[in-house]
C-alpha cells in the first residue's frame, strides 16, 4: 500500500481552518463544495443534509498527506475535547518545517498558541535528530511542528511541508503493528522508545513515562505516514468512539487505490469486519469503497476509482 491519500477532519468553521492551512502553512485548495452531499452522507450513515461544506487541501505538488475538511450542519463535539496527552485517539498532525525558530515566530505573530515555551531538540535511538514543538490547532487538534535536522524533506515557499505522520495513540502496539503491516501493507520506517526528562517536558508526561513509537508508510515518501504510539507508565481513556463522522477533529484515514481486491483478501484472512459501498459524492467518488477499523478503533476507508 502507498502512503495514505487524505485524512478527514471535522471542523466548526472551514474559513477559520483555512486561515491556518492556506494562509499560514501554504496548503493549496484543490476542491470545494458548499451544500449537502447525499453520497457521502449515505456512506457515513448520516441523516440527509448533515454536511454543510467541505474542501480538499494538499501541499503543493503532493498527492499523499492531503486533508479533507468537513463542516457539518450541526457543530459536533471535539474528538480530543479535554483529552490528556496519553488518551487513546487520533492525536497529532505532524507538519514538517525548515526553520523551527522562524516558523514559531511567524505563527506566534499570527496568534497561534504553543504548548511549550520553546522547541525540544532530541535524537531518537535510531539516530534521527529532530526538533519538535506542540501547538493548539483548531477544533482541539494537536499540531506538531517537526524539523528533521539531517535529511529534511522539501518545503513550500512558506517554509512548511505537508502532513508527515498522523499520530494515533493505542494501548496494544502489537495488534496495531500487525494491522498496518499485514493488512494495510505499510512498511516499518522507524521503531524507537523515547524517554527521559526532555521527552516528558515536550509532551507533558508524568516522570518516568516513556513512548513506544513506530512509524509506518511508503519508503521514500515523507508524507502520509502513520505513527503508532503507546505510553508506558500511563493509562489513558479510550476516545476512539468519539472519532466518528459528525465530530470535530481527526476521525478518518483514507487511501485511494486502483483496486481493492488484494486488500479484501487480507481483510478476510485477518478476519477483520468490513463494509463495501460505492460513493457518488461531491468531492469523494468511487466505484467501490471499503470501510473498516484498526484494532484500536481508527476509522479507515479505502477507495477504488
d(CA 225, CA 211): 18
If asked whether residues 71 and 132 sit together in one domain, one would say: no
If asked whether residues 140 and 43 sit together in one domain, one would say: no
Residue 237 lies in a domain: no
Q: What global pTM score does this model have?
A: 0.94
pLDDT band at 202 (very low <50, low <70, confident <90, very high): low
Contacts of 15 (CB under 8 A, 6+ apart): none
The DSSP result for the chain, as a single string, is --S--EEEEEES-HHHHHIIIIIIT-PEEEEEEES--HHHHHHTT--TT-EEEEEEEE-TT-SSSEEEEEEESS---BTTTT--TTSBSEEEEEEEES-HHHHHHHHHHTT-EESSSS-EEEE-TTS-EEEEEEEE-GGG-EEEEEEESSSPPP--TTSEEEEEEEEEE-S-HHHHHHIIIIIS-PEEEEEEEEESHHHHHHHT--TT-EEEEEEEE-TT--SSEEEEEEEET----B-GGG-SBTBBEEEEEEEEES--HHHHHHHHHHT---EEEEEE-SS-EEEEEEEEE-TT--EEEEEE-
pLDDT band at 94 (very low <50, low <70, confident <90, very high): very high
Q: Which residue has the higher pLDDT, 194 or 268?
A: 268
Q: What are phi and psi of 102, to 5 degrees?
A: -70, -40
If asked whether residues 209 and 270 sit together in one domain, one would say: no
If asked whether residues 43 and 129 sit together in one domain, one would say: no
Query: And the C-alpha cell for 237?
Result: 481513556
d(CA 184, CA 262): 10
If asked whether residues 181 and 69 sit together in one domain, one would say: no
Number of compact structural domains in the chain: 2
If asked whether residues 164 and 208 sit together in one domain, one would say: yes
pLDDT band at 211 (very low <50, low <70, confident <90, very high): confident
If asked whether residues 155 and 50 sit together in one domain, one would say: no
Residue 259 lies in a domain: yes
**CATH code (residue 37):** 3.10.180.10
pLDDT band at 85 (very low <50, low <70, confident <90, very high): confident
* Mean pLDDT value of segment 213-229: 96
Select from 198, 232, 266 the last residue of a domain. Answer: 232
Q: Please check the confidence at residue 123 and state whether its pLDDT lies above 90.
A: no
Residue 180 lies in a domain: yes
Print the domain residue range for 29.
Answer: 6-75+245-304
Residue 134 buriedness (CB in 10 A; 0-12 / 13-18 / 19+): buried
pLDDT at 120: 87
Place of cell 535529511: 151
pLDDT digits (tens, 9 = 90+) for 32-68: 999 999 999 999 999 999 999 999 999 988 999 999 9
∠ CA 20-24-25, rounded to 5°: 90
Percent of the chain with pLDDT over 90: 81
Contacts of 55 (CB under 8 A, 6+ apart): 14, 18, 29, 31, 32, 33, 68, 69, 283
pLDDT at 214: 95
Select from 232, 255, 283 the last residue of a domain. Answer: 232
Amino acid at each position: 500500500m502507498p502512503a495514505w491519500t487524505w485524512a478527514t477532519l471535522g471542523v466548526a468553521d472551514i474559513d477559520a481552518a483555512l486561515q491556518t492551512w492556506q494562509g499560514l502553512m501554504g496548503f493549496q485548495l484543490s476542491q470545494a463544495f458548499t451544500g449537502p452531499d447525499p453520497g457521502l452522507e449515505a456512506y457515513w450513515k448520516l441523516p440527509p443534509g448533515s454536511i454543510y461544506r467541505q474542501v480538499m487541501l494538499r501541499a503543493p505538488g503532493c498527492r499523499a498527506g492531503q486533508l479533507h475538511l468537513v463542516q457539518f450542519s450541526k457543530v459536533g463535539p471535539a474528538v480530543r475535547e479535554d483529552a490528556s496527552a496519553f488518551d487513546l485517539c487520533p492525536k497529532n498532525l505532524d507538519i514538517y518545517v525548515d526553520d523551527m525558530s522562524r516558523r514559531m515566530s511567524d505563527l506566534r505573530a499570527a496568534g497561534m498558541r504553543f504548548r511549550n515555551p520553546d522547541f525540544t531538540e532530541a535524537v531518537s535511538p535510531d539516530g534521527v535528530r529532530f526538533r519538535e514543538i506542540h501547538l493548539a490547532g483548531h477544533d482541539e487538534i494537536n499540531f506538531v511542528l517537526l524539523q528533521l535536522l539531517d535529511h529534511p524533506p522539501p518545503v513550500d515557499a512558506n517554509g512548511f511541508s505537508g502532513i508527515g505522520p498522523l499520530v494515533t495513540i493505542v494501548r496494544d502496539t502489537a495488534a496495531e503493528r500487525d494491522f498496518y503491516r499485514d493488512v494495510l501493507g505499510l512498511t516499518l520506517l522507524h521503531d524507537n522508545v523515547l524517554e527521559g526528562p526532555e521527552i516528558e517536558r515536550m509532551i507533558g508526561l508524568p516522570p518516568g513515562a516513556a513512548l513506544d513509537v513506530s512509524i509506518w508508510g511508503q519508503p521514500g515518501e515523507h508524507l502520509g505516514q502513520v505513527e503508532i504510539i503507546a505510553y508506558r507508565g500511563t493509562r489513558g481513556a479510550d476516545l476512539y468512539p468519539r472519532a466518528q463522522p459528525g465530530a470535530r477533529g481527526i476521525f478518518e484515514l483514507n487511501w485511494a487505490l486502483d483496486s481493492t481486491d488484494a486488500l479484501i483478501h487480507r481483510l478476510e484472512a485477518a478476519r477483520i469486519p468490513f463494509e463495501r459501498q460505492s460513493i457518488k459524492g461531491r468531492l469523494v467518488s468511487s466505484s467501490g469503497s471499503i470501510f473498516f477499523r484498526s484494532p484500536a478503533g481508527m476509522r479507515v476507508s479505502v477507495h477504488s476509482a
